[in-house]
């Protein structure tokens, strides 16, 4: 799973609008808005679709367990 904060960070890193993420994840843009604003707990399938769209675009998600806390970064060429 990814957090709402990670979702916003990933969109910023890719310079994607809410609608661009929604299109790439094949979900409704209102779902993205509600998730990012933490107004609604998105189901696991929806969050996975967003994560897969970000990962397909070259991002990796860093778990909160790792040093420095949760985050997002670009994949290295070797990853």
Task: Quickly state the pLDDT bin for 66 (edges 50, 70, 90).
Answer: low
Residue with tokens 């675009």: 57
| 60 sits in which H/E element | strand 59-62
Structurally, how many domains does the chain consist of? 1
Residue 8, class by beta-carbon neighbours within 10 Å (0-12 exposed, 13-18 middle, 19+ buried)? middle
Q: Which of 15, 24, 8, 20 is nearest to 70 (CA)?
A: 8
Mean pLDDT over 35-61 rounds to 93
Which pLDDT score, from 0 to 100, does residue 53 have? 98
- 28: CATH: 1.10.260.40
In-domain check, residue 79: no
CA–CA distance, 76 with 10 (Å, rounded to integer): 16
Q: Do the strands 71-74 and 59-62 form a parallel or antiparallel pair, or are they unpaired?
A: antiparallel
Domain hosting residue 10, numbered range: 4-73
- Report if residue 53 sits inside a domain: yes
Chain mean pLDDT for the chain: 91
In a domain, 78, yes or no: no
Report the share of the chain in percent with pLDDT over 70: 94
Return the pLDDT at 70. 86
């Amino acid at each position: 799973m990814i957090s709402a904060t990670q979702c916003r960070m990933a969109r910023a890193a890719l310079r994607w609008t809410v609608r661009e993420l929604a299109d790439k994840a094949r979900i409704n843009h209102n779902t993205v808005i509600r998730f990012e604003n933490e107004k609604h707990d998105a189901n696991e399938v929806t969050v996975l679709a967003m994560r897969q769209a970000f990962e397909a675009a070259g991002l990796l998600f860093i778990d909160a367990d790792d040093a420095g806390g949760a985050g997002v970064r670009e994949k290295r060429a070797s990853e």
